[in-house]
Structure 1
């Protein structure tokens, strides 16, 4: 039986998402984004607890294997050389996984890493809408101590990527353009930025919306907690 609290929070989040689509006032956008972040965090924690609690966890088998909880990996860094865009994904204990349990699917403009059965969980790292195309055949990964390194071969060698994804570049370009217009017209730059993000959220795909919500929430939390800035 589903956890009633999880069901309630899921309904709350769905309602907030509907409300967000109608918002135009900066203060309301700010408030809804923060509330969405809190609910998403609480949902994630409740789902993890539900899976870990022996009294509520049920054994589900597929081909006689226990179904594990899947986690999104958010702790990573990226860099680039003339030939490669390099990702360094932190994951404790990954060096103990078998080779066949660490799989990277390369596509011309996306990367999907799946790691099965590390600390009784499955893990996923995904990047879509890469700024430039990669050479799928010449891209590869290495398993290291507590991390996975992914080497995405640039289709055009020597070309420096200004951003990791086209979504990030689009947001940066729109921000720069609107900020310049607002400064020229003596408008509040912060209000301009909020309008940019609202426009992109309205017209973006699910990945764009996730990225904007995350960036906006983190920015607001840092502005309220100066000690988080570094």
Structure 2
């Protein structure tokens, strides 16, 4: 083998080694690129999960704060409504109290009021026979309006006039009480129509119309 052949073989071996080295280097580069991309994707996904979890945590905190603020505003609104109702009730009660005091000095007005209370008592009781209990100072007045009250009740419900007996036991004199009280047989159920109670009853009806709820037992 001459020098030329030896040189050729050496060059072929060099090319082969270089080709293998390039292929190996290319494989290493491709593998490294794949590993880098996988690692990068894992890091990106991990960070994305962290960001998502942090966002969800903060979103929950915001939602909780919103609920707390809404609850506080709702409670504040309810308190304002209750305060408004209380002020309205107190205002109406005070106005009614003054009007009732005025009626106490107005003979005609007081007579009409007592008759109205008797009729209302008959309406509430719906009994053919009742026992009326009043203040001693009102007895004569009650005697003058009984027949008219019976007639008004009977015409309103198309029933025979009820039997009304004035009790010999009287209600306490003012200021402890001021009104009419009924007792009907056989259970001697008492229905006390104190003026202030009538006032409260009217207030309850007014509130029912204002707020759509009824606090008056039928």
TM-score w.r.t. structure 1 length?
0.22
Higher helix share goes to which structure? 2
Larger radius of gyration: 2
TM-score w.r.t. structure 2 length?
0.23
